[in-house]
Amino acid sequence: MGQFDGSFDAQGALFTPSADSSGASQSADAPLAAPLSINGQVYGGQLRLSWTFSGAVFERDTVQRLADEYAVELQQLIAHCITEGVAGVTPSDFPLARLTQSQLSRLPMPAAQIEDIYPLAPMQQGMLFH
């Protein structure tokens, strides 16, 4: 999954996404790597999923029902996560920090106030440990 928020938003960015469709990402006759694949990206704060499937394995209606049910479950998950007092963070939210769940749970501030966590730069490490 790609997260492109911020990648193209800078004023004068070298590349920006086009509003025009680029068409199919591969030929309809090309062999698929898997009978069903789901690719996602976040851009402009919105998640977009594209579902590719083998017509020899799945009927279009079956994949559409799966996608619809996935959307419902995802909306329920989001509703749960934004409920007051429920929000939390996991190590996957801050991959650069390389913190364990236990370490994240001991942070001295509510999870909702944490925007990002970065590892120390080498100079910061030296100042902290010497």
Its domain, for residue 74, covers: 32-111
Question: For 14-54, how does the pLDDT look when each residue is reduced to its tens digit (9 = 90+)?
Answer: 777 777 888 887 787 888 899 999 999 887 778 899 999 99
**What CA–CA distance (Å, rounded) separates 12 from 7?**
12
Residue 22 located in a structural domain: no
Question: For 55-112, how does the pLDDT look when each residue is reduced to its tens digit (9 = 90+)?
Answer: 999 999 999 999 999 999 999 998 988 887 776 788 888 888 889 999 988 988 887 7
Residue 19 located in a structural domain: no
| DSSP codes joined into one string, 55-90 | TTT--HHHHHHHHHHHHHHHHHHHHHHTSTTT----
SS3 content of the chain, % helix, strand, coil (to 5): 30, 15, 55
Q: Give the predicted TM-score (pTM) of the model.
A: 0.61
- Number of structural domains (the chain) is 1
